[in-house]
Amino acid sequence: MAVEHPAPTLPGDQTRIHNIGYRSYDGPRLGRSYARRSLYSQSLRGAYGLGRSVKSKVLPMLLFVVMCVPAAIMVAVAVATKATALPVEYTRYAIVMQAVISLYVASQAPQSVSRDLRFKTVPLYFSRPIETADYVRAKFAALASALFVLTAAPLLVLYVGALLAKLDFADQTKGFAQGLVSVTLLSLLFAGLGLVVAAVTPRRGFGIAAVIAVLTISYGAVSTLQAIADAQGSTGATRWIGLFSPITLIDGVQSAFLGASSAFPGGIGPSTGEGVVYVLAALGLIVASYGLLMRRYRKVGL
């Protein structure tokens, strides 16, 4: 009869099976809305370097200060000289400071999306519970909100200063409201364009250069063409040329419907009928930017 022998034990074999107490999660499920809000909040804070290194805070905070300081100086002058009006209209302030706004978009749009693309973390966002639309909406809304803070803060400084200077309350309130409408549209448009350009490349440096090219070079080209057309007496052409640059597009909308003075050559902005085209073009670009972002992230999220 065969005798079974136990398997030999190797010297030093300390194999053990431990029960480390893993348990299934039975707490509340916060779902997509909570994840979407968290992504929005994190992206908005990141646009000003909050929750990040000191180095990341320098540029956005510096640009915020640069946006507000001229407004504070104007207010101080108006109060000291007892002026009857502010030196700059509420609707004109963002147009005057468009270079600072463009630099902010160029620095923060790539920061918002390029790292996720470069390190291929986008599919992790879409694993659960959020979807492509949640990611795009959160990023779009966060950058637009950051831009609104950047552009609306100096308008608030102007408004408070105007009231301290005892300027007409009704006129200042109306101008302030018109300025807020203008910068809201500007924030949505610039955020959409900046994110689309930045989402094309995972390299942040390339994204910064591309955003600057779209926002700044287009403005320079359009301004040059408008000046040439005006010199040749083609006033009507200058108004249509303004459709091809984001900042002149905003200028045309507010000069047509918000009572703003135009920066176009000769100070002649679009008529009401032409202004409708400007509004449709601005809204179309915003919608198109959202659609292009959705298409981009459906691919990279696979």
Query: What digits encode the pLDDT tens for the residues 108-121?
Result: 999 888 777 776 77
Q: What's the sign of the alpha-carbon dihedral 223, 225, 226, 227?
A: positive
The more confidently predicted of residues 7 and 259 is: 259
pLDDT digits (tens, 9 = 90+) for 264-284: 988 889 999 999 999 999 999
The more confidently predicted of residues 11 and 220 is: 220
Question: Is 190 within 8 Å of 198 (Cβ atoms)?
Answer: no
For the cut 90, the answer to whether the pLDDT of residue 191 exceeds it is: yes
Q: Please state, rounded to an integer, the average pLDDT across all residues of the chain.
A: 89
Q: What percent of the chain has pLDDT over 90?
A: 66
169 burial (CB, 10 Å; 0-12 / 13-18 / 19+) is: exposed
Structure tokens at 62: 């510096």
* Angstrom distance (rounded) from CA 241 to CA 191: 22
The dihedrals phi and psi of 119, each to the nearest 5 degrees, come to -95, 10
**What residues contact 164, with CB distance under 8 A and at least 6 apart?**
75, 79
Question: What's the one-letter identity of residue 242?
Answer: G
The more confidently predicted of residues 32 and 239 is: 239
**What residues contact 217, with CB distance under 8 A and at least 6 apart?**
none
Q: Which of 2-11, 52-61, 151-160, 219-228 has the lowest mean pLDDT?
A: 2-11
Confidence of residue 157 (pLDDT cuts 50, 70, 90): very high
Q: Which whole number is the average pLDDT over 205-222?
A: 91
pLDDT digits (tens, 9 = 90+) for 16-69: 666 666 667 676 777 788 888 989 999 999 999 998 888 889 999 999 999 999
Q: Which pLDDT score is estimated for 62?
A: 97
- Strand, coil or helix: what is 301? coil
Q: Which pLDDT score is estimated for 4?
A: 55
Q: Which whole number is the average pLDDT over 178-194?
A: 97
Confidence of residue 234 (pLDDT cuts 50, 70, 90): confident
0.95 cut: is pTM over it?
Answer: no
Q: Which pLDDT score is estimated for 97?
A: 96
Q: Which pLDDT score is estimated for 3?
A: 53
pLDDT digits (tens, 9 = 90+) for 93-139: 999 999 999 999 999 999 888 777 776 777 777 666 788 899 999 99
Q: Which pLDDT score is estimated for 117?
A: 74
* Angstrom distance (rounded) from CA 95 to CA 290: 24
C-alpha to C-alpha distances, 302 to 110, 133, 140, 142, 256, nearest whole angstrom: 21, 14, 20, 24, 44
Tell me the H-state helices in the chain. 31-46, 54-81, 90-96, 98-118, 122-127, 132-164, 169-200, 204-212, 218-231, 235-241, 246-257, 272-300
For the cut 70, the answer to whether the pLDDT of residue 9 exceeds it is: no
For the cut 60, the answer to whether the pLDDT of residue 237 exceeds it is: yes
Q: Which pLDDT score is estimated for 29?
A: 73
Question: Is 289 within 8 Å of 192 (Cβ atoms)?
Answer: yes
Q: Which pLDDT score is estimated for 28?
A: 74
Q: Which pLDDT score is estimated for 301?
A: 57
* Angstrom distance (rounded) from CA 36 to CA 135: 7
Q: Which pLDDT score is estimated for 113?
A: 87
Question: What's the one-letter identity of residue 167?
Answer: L
